[in-house]
Amino acid sequence: MLNLILFGPPGSGKGTQSIKIAECFNLAHISTGDILRSEIKNQTPLGLKVKAVIEKGELVSDNLLMELLENAIEKEKSKNGFIFDGFPRTNFQAMGLDTMLEKRNTSISLVISLEVDRDEVVKRLLSRAKLEGRVDDTEEVISNRLQVYHNQTAPLIDFYKKQKKFVEVKGIGSTEVIFDSIKEIVSALI
């Protein structure tokens, strides 16, 4: 199996690139942000529970996330593997993911990190706010999300570097050029 994590701060283009990678390599795209937003839209009990947290730019609880992941993984059996987008975001989630994959006799193949500086991500998120109207794309919430990323998610870089599973890709430029560099890296794995 090919199991990838697309890593990077909010606004680094994980969603866009994940969709393309999933299609190209026949992987199941698992975006925890998309799953959570759909729960909110459908006003499920889970959606109602997480709405306020997401609107503040905080992280949804690890236990809830792990449950969600387990369900998402179970649903996908016919693909070559997974591309995780927006997950894991904490040490707890990263360790939980390892255990979950181990149980299935597989593991993370590689973490691909989209390198985009802070000014650029803020610019992108603010322009996305105008286009999509995501409630967590206001200036105040964006700055909180970046802080949360810095405090809780960025430490995972070391976790994966120690396992020699971390590679960086320049995340600025055209979508196609960025995708080509990712494709080259992934192709070398198979």
Binding site for ligand ADP (CB under 6 A): 10-11, 32-33, 36, 53-54, 57-60, 65, 86-87, 89, 93, 136, 145
DSSP state of 61: P
Non-local (6+) Cβ contacts of 25 within 8 A are 2, 80, 81, 83, 186, 190
The nearest distance, CB 188 to ligand ADP, in angstroms, is 26
The nearest distance, CB 65 to ligand ADP, in angstroms, is 5
Question: Which phi and psi angles does 169 have, rounded to 5°?
Answer: -130, 140
Tokens of 31: 């975006």
Nearer to ligand ADP (CB atom), residue 28 or residue 36: 36
Nearer to ligand ADP (CB atom), residue 2 or residue 40: 40
Instruction: Decide if 113 contacts 4 (C-beta within 8 A).
Output: no
User: What element of type H or E holds 106?
Assistant: none
Nearer to ligand ADP (CB atom), residue 17 or residue 32: 32
- Residue number of the CB closest to ligand ADP reads 33
The nearest distance, CB 25 to ligand ADP, in angstroms, is 21
The nearest distance, CB 185 to ligand ADP, in angstroms, is 21
Nearer to ligand ADP (CB atom), residue 93 or residue 164: 93
What whole-number distance in Å separates Cα of residue 139 and Cα of residue 160? 30
